[in-house]
Amino acid sequence: MKTKPKVGISACLLGENVRYDGGNQSNHYIINELSEFVECVPVCPEVECGMTVPREPIELVGNPDSPDLLAVNSRTDYTEKMRKWIEKKLLLLENENLTVYIFKAKSPSCGIREVPVHTKEGIPSAQGAGMFAKAFMEKFPSVPVADEETLNNPAVRKHFL
Give the pLDDT of residue 35: 85
Domain ranges of the chain: 6-55+79-108+130-160
The Cα–Cα gap between 86 and 147 comes to 19
- pLDDT, averaged across the chain: 94
Residue type, 67: P
Whether the pLDDT of residue 161 is over 90: the answer is no
Looking at residue 23, the DSSP 8-state letter turns out to be: -
User: pTM to 2 decimals?
Assistant: 0.94
Task: Identify the CATH assignment for 6-55+79-108+130-160 out of 3.30.450, 3.90.25, 3.40.50, 1.10.3470.
Answer: 3.40.50
Q: Which residues of 15-40 are buried (b: 16+ CB within 10 A; e: fewer)?
A: bbebbbeeebbebeebeeebbeebeb
Q: Is 4 strand, coil or helix?
A: coil
* Residue 4 scores a pLDDT above 60: yes
Q: How many angstroms separate the CA atoms of 28 and 136, rounded? A: 25
Model confidence at 106, in pLDDT bands (50, 70, 90)?
very high
Rounded CA gap, 98 and 77, in Å?
A: 30
Mean pLDDT of 62-89: 96
pLDDT at 111 over 70: yes
Give yes or no for residue 1 having a pLDDT over 70: no
What pLDDT sits at residue 121?
84
